[in-house]
């Protein structure tokens, strides 16, 4: 069989992505391997440009969305799969060709849910969120270290950023009886790090806010209670228009805001939250729910206020926060996917 005839018969291609080299496995409609190649990154487009339109599978890893958009421009059906979905199809010892073969096998399964391709704008917004989250983690570490050093010297400070920020100048200037000059100098350096991180976080927040104000989906999401500019922009960066989910319940389950199910023998056994999917976005929705719970006087402004009041009498506050976060996530998906504004006076038609 000639190379051209072999290429025309290919129905599915699995690509194992690497930093500089890619490994390709091409199969026909019956699963027979017709193509096995190792190519450099720069050769991928020329290699697949003349291949008839086919199904292409890749693992959802670093650089996969960029490569996926390039191949989708040729008309190919590109699907990104989570690595844990590919693992069961790996046969024998692991190598790059067998990884590509496992991807090609997995992507053909009709019940396999792929990861939607992200646009360049989504990746930019996602990058801003990830850098901001890292800066916040660094700031938390610096603050905890300052507290620890003060506590070692017998100077406890009340909880919260504001309490430490307010007490620090007084402690450094007046408690020289317990703070050595070396310790004072060290804490001052840490305070400078804290100030610089605050400035960088504020700059990133302004950039995210500016991008969110320009996006129609983000503007609609910000009308949902408990959803601010950070949550709205993170949601758009993660799921785009939400078309990857057929209903709001699927989105809430993807976030991990549903009970973990351990059912067997016709018995439904539910545990704690599954905590699967996007941890960052789940944390934001739970934080938004907790913010709503802090202001019960505003509950009746929303249709779910009666449910919230009744649930408070029978659920622990943390359980109620998770249940409310689930409801907010479903409402937010409906607002984003159906391209409609949030109306607190009507029942949200969330499937």
Distance CA 157, CA 163 (A): 7
Q: Given this model, what pLDDT does residue 278 score? A: 86
Q: Given this model, what pLDDT does residue 6 score? A: 58
Distance CA 242, CA 218 (A): 12
Distance CA 33, CA 24 (A): 10
Phi, psi of 61 (to 5 degrees): -135, -170
Prediction pTM value = 0.86
Q: What value does the mean pLDDT of the chain take?
A: 89
Q: What is the DSSP string of 3-64?
A: HHHHHHH--EEEEE--SSEEEEEEE-TT--EEEEEEEEGGGHHHHHTTSPS-EEEEES-TTH
Low-confidence spans in the chain with pLDDT less than 70:
1-8, 345-351
Distance CA 51, CA 103 (A): 19
Distance CA 96, CA 164 (A): 52
Q: Given this model, what pLDDT does residue 345 score? A: 65
Q: Given this model, what pLDDT does residue 231 score? A: 95
Q: Given this model, what pLDDT does residue 300 score? A: 84
Q: Given this model, what pLDDT does residue 52 score? A: 87
Spatial strand order in the sheet of 77-81: 33-40, 21-27, 12-16, 55-59, 77-81
Options 3.30.420.140, 1.10.10.10, 3.20.20.70, 2.60.40.10; CATH of 3-107: 3.30.420.140
Q: Given this model, what pLDDT does residue 349 score? A: 45
Which sequence spans correspond to the domains of the chain?
A: 3-107, 120-214, 216-337
């Amino acid at each position: 069989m000639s190379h051209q005839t072999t290429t025309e018969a290919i129905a599915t291609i699995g690509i194992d992505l690497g930093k500089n080299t890619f490994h390709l496995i091409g199969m026909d409609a019956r699963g027979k391997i017709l193509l096995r190649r190792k190519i450099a990154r720069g050769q991928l487009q020329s290699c697949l440009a003349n291949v008839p339109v086919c199904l292409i599978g890749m693992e959802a890893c670093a650089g996969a969305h960029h490569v996926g958009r390039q191949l989708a421009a040729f008309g190919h059906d590109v699907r990104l799969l989570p690595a844990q979905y590919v693992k069961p199809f790996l046969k024998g010892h692991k190598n790059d060709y067998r990884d590509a073969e496992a991807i090609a096998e997995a992507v053909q399964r009709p019940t396999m849910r792929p990861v939607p391709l992200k646009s360049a704008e989504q990746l930019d917004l996602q990058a801003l969120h990830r850098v901001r989250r890292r800066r916040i983690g660094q700031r938390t570490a610096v603050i905890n270290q300052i507290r620890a050093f003060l506590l070692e010297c017998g100077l406890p400070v009340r909880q919260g950023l504001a309490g430490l920020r307010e007490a620090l100048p007084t402690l450094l200037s007046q408690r020289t009886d317990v703070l050595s000059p070396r310790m004072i100098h060290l804490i001052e350096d840490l305070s400078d790090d804290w100030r610089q991180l605050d400035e960088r976080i504020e700059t990133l927040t302004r950039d995210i806010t500016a991008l969110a104000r320009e996006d129609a989906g983000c503007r609609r999401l910000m009308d949902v209670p408990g959803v601010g500019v950070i949550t709205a922009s993170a949601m758009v960066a993660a799921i785009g228009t939400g078309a990857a989910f057929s209903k709001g319940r699927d989105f809430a389950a993807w976030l991990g805001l549903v009970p973990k199910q351990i059912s067997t023998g016709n018995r439904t056994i539910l545990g704690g939250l599954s905590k699967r999917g996007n941890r960052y976005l789940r944390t934001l929705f739970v934080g938004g729910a907790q913010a709503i719970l802090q202001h019960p006087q505003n509950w009746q402004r929303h249709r779910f206020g009666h449910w919230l009041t009744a649930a408070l009498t029978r659920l622990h506050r943390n359980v109620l926060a998770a249940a409310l976060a689930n409801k907010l996530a479903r409402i937010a998906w409906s607002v984003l996917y159906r391209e409609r504004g949030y109306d607190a006076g009507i029942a949200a038609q969330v499937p």
